[in-house]
């Protein structure tokens, strides 16, 4: 397995760029921990099928995809909200760290969906060959 992808129903509004300015730190802390725990669970579930070869990966690329129905998060808000999800990949041991030393590419994309029930954040981490 050289790619691991997880999908979550969205990011709590208190973890977005603007939401962090308006919400109390304790609310942000609880939401961050819950998002991290949910992401770790999904990653471990995905790893049950196949275990990744030679983890932690020395270099990787990350892609964050947002499916939105009303108003999309701007790129800064999406990156801020997806940070706990990316951190989950380090907690599980897929990547050593989310610094530029290990992450060679970090991209984001978006797509409009018709219904709120279809909203999601999909984070994909793919192994890259070291330079």
Dump pLDDT digits (tens) for 75-117. Answer: 988 998 899 999 999 999 999 999 999 999 999 999 999 999 9
Q: How many CB atoms lie within 10 A of CB 111?
A: 12
Nearest CA-CA partner of 119 in 62, 84, 70: 70
pLDDT of amino acid 20: 85
pLDDT of amino acid 66: 96
Distances (CA, A) of 18 to 14, 37, 77, 117: 8, 23, 7, 23
Domain of residue 86, residue span: 3-128
How many domains, the chain? 1
Q: What is the rounded CA–CA span in Å between residue 100 and residue 103? A: 5
- For CA atoms 113, 117, 118, 120, the dihedral sign is positive
Tell me what the mean pLDDT of segment 62-72 comes to: 94
Q: Say yes or no to pLDDT of 42 above 90.
A: yes
Lowest-confidence pick of 26-35, 44-53, 119-128: 44-53
| Residue 63 belongs to domain with CATH number | 3.30.1330.70
**E-strand stretches of 1-47:** 3-8
pTM for the full predicted model: 0.90
């Amino acid at each position: 397995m050289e790619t691991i992808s997880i999908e979550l129903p969205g990011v709590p509004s208190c973890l977005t760029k603007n939401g962090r300015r308006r919400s109390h730190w304790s609310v942000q802390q609880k939401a961050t921990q819950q998002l991290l725990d949910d992401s770790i669970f999904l990653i471990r579930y995905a790893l049950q099928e196949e275990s990744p070869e030679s983890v932690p990966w020395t270099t990787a690329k990350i892609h964050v995809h947002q499916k939105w129905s009303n108003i999309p998060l701007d790129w800064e808000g999406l990156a801020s909200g997806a940070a706990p999800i990316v951190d989950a990949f380090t907690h599980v041991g897929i990547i050593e760290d989310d610094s530029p030393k290990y992450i060679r590419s970090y991209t984001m994309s978006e797509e409009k969906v018709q219904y709120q029930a279809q909203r999601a954040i999909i984070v994909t981490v793919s192994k890259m060959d070291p330079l």
